[in-house]
Chains A and B, each alone.
Chain A
């Protein structure tokens, strides 16, 4: 670790809260291919399917052979920083407020030039570097040159740290701290250096194993929160909304059944109440205040994490109604993302595969441990991504979904995973 983020100073109440500014977000449609890969933490560039030439900047036609058959393919990003500059003036407010910026041209080994931000750990040009894709505060892809050797965290560079949502020194709301996943998430955030963790507790008369020990963590503060109760959500937002930097929505209701296995819709309604309407209630109360605090110094509102499910991508009939509620939440998260984007607050969606908890008991391994889910939450915040598919099953489903969504639907309808 380089310079760990220090606990931000107390805010001077006499000074105006700064308004959020964003880096330029305009991109051509074809350039959004870079963003699509970066959202999953990958560097992909277009490669010509006919002649193999790698292309950059993104384009419609191969600059070598004029083929229109260009496909986005993963790249290792290795190359040489051949020239660099330090910008001490900028035309856009976002950059102007954060000067200076280190920017360079990297000649990738594949023979194309990329303009990239240069991590402060990178030596003087010319030198070997590795180019990574990241999401800037406008949640558009940008390229970052990091040292060629070893692992360099984006957040080791104070400027590039803004492309992450590192939980260190942050004040974080975990909406449900009672479930095994919620408990694991709170513990992981504590270990990652969170400044304060509000742990939501619905139905306080239910004593869940491990919860008392969790509440003993130095940063933990339990607060009453029932996401199925509009008043509860509103009251909590009134109390702590102005202080929350990161919301991690772990509230989840999972009652496994198929369409035919149960009469009535009450259980499915409960799933929707928590998984969909719960998110909606939280978004209505917390999103406006997160937006307002998105540029509030170093202690600004910065991210919103939803623990969804890989079942949100395509319905898994043995968990049919649960899948539907998570699909609804996924859809709503896209609206939330659109509404938080102008402020630069990032919405991260996690799509874990089956979790090793009571509700996925009958799912076959491999299954994700709650701590693995929690680790994925922390890594997503420390990194620069928007969509995370933790675990082997999630990765498998994602690959099948990207290749042929109809095939995945048929496969899931046929039998188990």
Chain B
């Protein structure tokens, strides 16, 4: 049975709290500022927000519950979405159903993390039971090591080369140079990419996302609510999520997108060719490629040829990660999964910080998260449209 349509659910009020490499503040500071940014952007009192979906890695010992009291919110609907880079898409799906059913009227979806000098190591060391028992003791390489293995396998199996991934990274940097929020301000050349120091073979420095502190947020509501508030909005046409897809694959070279992409496009009423831009989850370039393939922009294993045939700048043939993506903006913890959504709302509502894809009508956002052991478990995607 196909999932129920999202009818008139919309996303509005894209908010980014400026990223910093390290911060002495707590996660509450970044999440609180995102919340303040949302009510300022929507020009509504705090009390109008009656639903909250929170994603954060560094909120402990608090959960979304603690944040409720910390921020003085009274809510009818609350969710703590701890799915890393898939949290954004999953938050959209849950919030959409909440406003559709009337359980909540305006849901704030926020994600953010602080980054102390030692936070990343601590988070990695105790990321999951499997990771603590069976990954971290093997060199404590963190996500670099996990993605190095996936990248090495993909390259060998499909004949992809470093310059293929490099082309994506360079394009994202070009996009980031127009985004004042991006932490990376210097242009990146393919030569610099190819000659950067090795971090975990075959990954080099510019393949690896840089952890930082920051937050992202947006509001989910019904179209009528947005119109009454006079907000610019993007419509939610379809969304999918999947967890632990293809568990029998010896190593991950596809995510859950392949399982449900037909359902996604059916629900959305548009297909991959209709997308004016895509925002993929990009902590490492190989995962972009798995999303291009999984979401039907090219065939399985054809990622390298697809990269070769396209340009990914905002003005390119296939605008991707138009704000620069995490690779060139920074990875503010769990906000990494919201970054693409916030950018997509900006593109579709004409509120971009950097360059705008001309006449963008449809955008696709996808998320990926949680290397629990040897592969990323959570994946999701959403199709958004301009009003």
Contact = CB atoms under 8 A, between A and B. Distances in A.
Interface of A: 23-28, 31, 56-58, 63, 82-92, 95, 101, 103-105, 107, 113-117, 125-126, 136, 138, 140, 142
A324 to B, nearest CB: 37
B125 A91 contact: yes
A136 B125 CA distance: 17
A116 B138 contact: yes
A86 B200 contact: yes
B188 to A, nearest CB: 20
B140 A85 contact: no
Contacts of A103: 138-139, 141, 145, 149
Contacts of B140: 23-24, 90-92, 95
A27 B153 CA distance: 28
Interface in B163-209: 197-203
> Which 10 pairs across A and B sit closest by C-beta, in order of nearness?
A85-B148, A57-B134, A31-B133, A92-B140, A101-B139, A83-B153, A83-B149, A91-B121, A57-B130, A91-B140
A63 B372 CA distance: 15
B137 interface: yes
A358 to B, nearest CB: 46
B125 A115 contact: no
Interface in B290-339: none
Contacts of B202: 85
A85 B200 contact: yes
Contacts of A28: 129, 132-133
A88 B198 contact: yes
A117 B138 contact: yes
A87 B200 contact: yes
A87 B141 contact: yes
A89 B144 contact: yes
Nearest to B128: A57
A270 to B, nearest CB: 44
B152 interface: yes
B251 A82 contact: yes
Contacts of A95: 139-141
Contacts of B197: 88
Given A89-B144, A91-B140, A57 B199 contact: no
B54 interface: no
15 contacts: A27-B133, A28-B129, A57-B373, A85-B152, A87-B200, A89-B141, A90-B140, A92-B140, A103-B139, A105-B251, A107-B250, A113-B250, A113-B251, A115-B373, A140-B137
A125 B152 contact: yes
B361 interface: no
Nearest to A98: B139
Interface residues of B, number: 38
B284 interface: no
A136 B136 CA distance: 13
B246 interface: no
B130 to A, nearest CB: 4
B262 interface: no
B134 A115 contact: yes
A149 B120 CA distance: 40
A28 B135 CA distance: 13
A24 B137 contact: yes
A89 B138 contact: no
Contacts of A58: 133-134
Most buried by A among B124, B125, B153, B200: B200
A85 B149 contact: yes
Contact of A24 (B136, B145, B150, B199): B136
A35 B129 CA distance: 16
Nearest to A99: B139
A328 B142 CA distance: 43
Contacts of A136: 137
Given A85-B145, A85-B148, A104-B149, 20 more contacts: A26-B126, A28-B133, A58-B134, A83-B149, A85-B149, A85-B200, A85-B202, A85-B203, A87-B148, A87-B200, A89-B200, A91-B121, A92-B140, A103-B138, A107-B251, A113-B251, A113-B373, A125-B152, A140-B137, A142-B137
Contacts of B129: 28, 57
A379 B383 CA distance: 62
Given A89-B144, A91-B120, A115 B135 contact: yes
B260 interface: no
Contact of B250 (A31, A63, A82): A82
A63 B153 CA distance: 25
A58 B128 CA distance: 12
Interface string B363-387: 0000000000110000000000000
Contact of A115 (B142, B144, B150, B374): B374
A88 B134 contact: no
Contact of B145 (A31, A63, A87): A87
B251 A87 contact: no
Contact of B152 (A31, A57, A83): A83
Contacts of B156: 83, 125-126
A31 B141 contact: no
A340 to B, nearest CB: 19
A201 B134 CA distance: 46
B206 to A, nearest CB: 14
B153 to A, nearest CB: 4
Given A57-B373, A92-B121, A84 B199 contact: no
B133 A57 contact: yes
Interface in B247-302: 247, 250-251
A28 to B, nearest CB: 5
A27 B201 contact: no
A105 B250 CA distance: 9
A82 B153 CA distance: 7
Nearest to B135: A115
A58 B145 CA distance: 21
Contacts of A27: 132-133
Given A85-B149, A85-B200, A90 B139 contact: yes
A27 B199 CA distance: 26
Contacts of B121: 91-92
Contacts of A84: 149, 152
Nearest to B152: A83
Nearest to A57: B134
A257 B70 CA distance: 72
B250 A89 contact: no
B271 to A, nearest CB: 33
Contacts of B203: 85
